């Protein structure tokens, strides 16, 4: 129960931070190259959603039935949707970072990292092969981290 509550908190922190960045006009980039990074992040998210299929979204990072997905972007990233959000948020901070906007981007990142760690705990329990998958696929940056 504690892990699910922490996972929900991570989701709420990430969502609130993203909305706050949007409200203060620090979410969307204006620089062409940063817009390309954000567009690639959106494409990564869409690719991940399409690969994952019609499984439902759970605010508490519950595992879903249907087996472990290790194809598409999941071949390289364990969490391509979370990674895409982090890439998108940080691309918006590069042009004009402020103490508030960087703090909010850190909060979004921290909230999503909490979810990733907790989700991995659920997945190791639900799918014994997840431990081996963790050795092959990186959490946020393919081939690195």
pLDDT for residue 51: 92
Tokens 């691309």 found at? 91
Structural tokens at position 75: 């071949």
pLDDT for residue 52: 85
Tell me the C-alpha distance between 14 and 133, whole Å.
26
The count of other CB atoms within 10 Å of the CB of residue 108 is: 27
**134, 120 contact by CB (below 8 A):** yes
pLDDT for residue 4: 86
Tell me the C-alpha distance between 86 and 3, whole Å.
22
State which H helix or E strand residue 20 sits in. helix 2-23
Q: What is the Cα gyration radius of the chain? A: 15
**36, 27 contact by CB (below 8 A):** no
pLDDT for residue 143: 81
Task: Give 8-45 pLDDT, tens digit per residue.
Answer: 999 999 999 999 999 999 999 999 999 999 999 999 99
Cα 50 versus chain centre, distance? 15
pLDDT for residue 145: 75
Task: Give 42-93 pLDDT, tens digit per residue.
Answer: 999 999 999 988 766 666 666 666 788 999 999 999 999 999 999 999 999 9
Whether 140 has a pLDDT exceeding 70, the answer reads yes
């Amino acid at each position: 129960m504690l892990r699910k509550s922490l996972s929900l908190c991570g989701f709420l922190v990430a969502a609130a931070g993203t909305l706050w960045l949007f409200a203060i006009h620090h979410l969307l980039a204006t620089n062409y190259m940063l817009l390309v990074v954000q567009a690639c992040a959106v494409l990564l998210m869409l690719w991940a959603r399409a690969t994952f299929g019609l499984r439902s979204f759970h605010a508490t990072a519950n595992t879903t039935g249907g087996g472990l997905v290790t194809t598409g972007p999941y071949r390289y990233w364990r969490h391509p949707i979370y990674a895409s959000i982090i890439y998108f948020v940080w691309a918006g901070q590069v042009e004009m970072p402020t103490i508030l906007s960087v703090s909010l981007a850190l909060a979004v990142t921290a909230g999503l990292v909490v979810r990733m760690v907790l989700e991995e705990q659920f997945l190791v329990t639900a799918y014994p092969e997840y431990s081996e998958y963790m050795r092959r696929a990186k959490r946020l940056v393919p081939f690195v981290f």
